[in-house]
Amino acid sequence: MSDPKAQPQTLDELAAEADAMEAAGEEPSGFDAADQDELEALRAERDEFKDRFMRALADAENTRKRADRDRREAENYGGSRLARDLLPVYDNLDRALQSVTEEQRAGNEALLEGIELTKSELVNVFKKHGIEAVAPEVGEKFDPQAHQAMFEAPVPGTKAGEIIQVMTVGFYLHDRLLRPAQVGVSSTPAG
């Protein structure tokens, strides 16, 4: 036990000393019933504060994690509206290049090269920001997670569920689908 002439102890020191004595199986000397009740009340209050502190600490950690997740999502997906608005630009450049005949290609090489370079630069910007094309090939199996069936038609020599035409390329923004690839699908029954 401590020296009675020593400096007064703090409540935490008293509670810690009483806990140590209790753990050792000793009974604090000089404590009457009122002192014992006060000690128990202090222990209960200490335990309540400790519990509150631990909960507050856990809440702070959860808030930090949630803020980190929200920040990452804002970085990765905050530009999704702008990205969706740029997809028609890609489509129009692609259609312009696909619609050119060989005669037109010979007479307008510089213009077509400019369109190709513009489309290539747009694709590079897309890649820089995590936008990847979903470009299925004719004959691939239809994937409802990445493709949108625009029509079905029975086409000889194909199996049901195979892509028979690709109308527009789809795009992912990181791991989220911005736009599905629009495709035509074979409905030829198995035979």
Region of poorest pLDDT, from 5-19, 77-91, 149-163: 5-19
Q: What pLDDT score does 94 carry?
A: 93
Of the candidates 77, 110, 116, the one whose C-alpha atom is nearest the C-alpha of residue 93 is 116
Asked whether residue 10 carries a pLDDT value surpassing 60, the answer given is: yes
Residue ranges covered by each domain of the chain: 11-76, 78-186
List the structure tokens of 63.
């808030």
What is the CA angle 146-178-140, rounded to 5?
A: 20
Residue 5 has pLDDT above 80, yes or no: no
pLDDT at 56: 93
Q: Residues 39-70: pLDDT tens digits?
A: 888 889 999 999 999 999 999 999 999 999 99
* Contact between 142 and 186 (Cβ < 8 Å): no
pLDDT band at residue 90, thresholds of 50, 70 and 90?
A: very high
Q: According to the model, what pLDDT value does residue 33 have?
A: 76
Extract the tokens encoding 8: 């007064």
Residue with the two structure tokens 């995590």: 130
What's the chain's average pLDDT?
87
> Measured between alpha carbons, how far is 166 from 163 in angstroms, rounded to an integer?
7
State what percent of residues in the chain have pLDDT above 90: 58
pTM here is 0.63
Determine the residue type at 121: E
Tokens representing 96? 């312009």
pLDDT at position 30 is 61
User: Any idea which fold 78-186 has?
Assistant: Nucleotide Exchange Factor Grpe; Chain A, domain 2 (2.30.22)
